[in-house]
Structure 1
Amino acid sequence: MANSSDAPHVPGTSGRVGTCGASDDDFQKLEYARRYVEEIPNADLVVVEGKHIPTEDSPHEVARAIVEHLGAAS
């Protein structure tokens, strides 16, 4: 598992990583997104309803997650 002190910091950012996974995606399984969150420092995961393309299945939920992530970054 990565250590947050090893993570590079990009100036002007919070260093946080937001990920979004679809609850019923048979191709990119939700467990992959959960693993990213475990291994990427300062990462969080939002799970939305849908299949492989959550921006089509749950556009409002994805947009809300992006807005909340960007708001938390400032």
Structure 2
Amino acid sequence: MELPFAAPSLAVSAWLVARALPTYPSLTGATYGLAAGLMTDAGMRLYCWIDQPLHVFSSHGGTVSLGTIGGAAMAALIER
């Protein structure tokens, strides 16, 4: 449920960082992917009433880690 909300912020961040020509694009991509994932998770936690540990770690933690991996992959792809 969180991924459609994370995609626009991840795309805008990727576009802005790609224009800056970073020295380490994968590390930079992982950083802005982590930021986009945390921002999205923080917003969705306001509306999510489920507090079971399995849900929190898999759904909310999964979005943050997927954003980090996706940001690194997107930055490496843009750099090529």
Q: Decide which structure has greater strand share.
A: 1
User: Which protein is richer in helix relative to its size?
Assistant: 2
Q: TM-score, normalized by length of structure 1?
A: 0.36
TM-score by length of 2: 0.33
Question: Comparing both chains, which one has the higher relative contact order based on Cα–Cα distances under 8 Å and sequence gaps of 6 or more?
Answer: 2
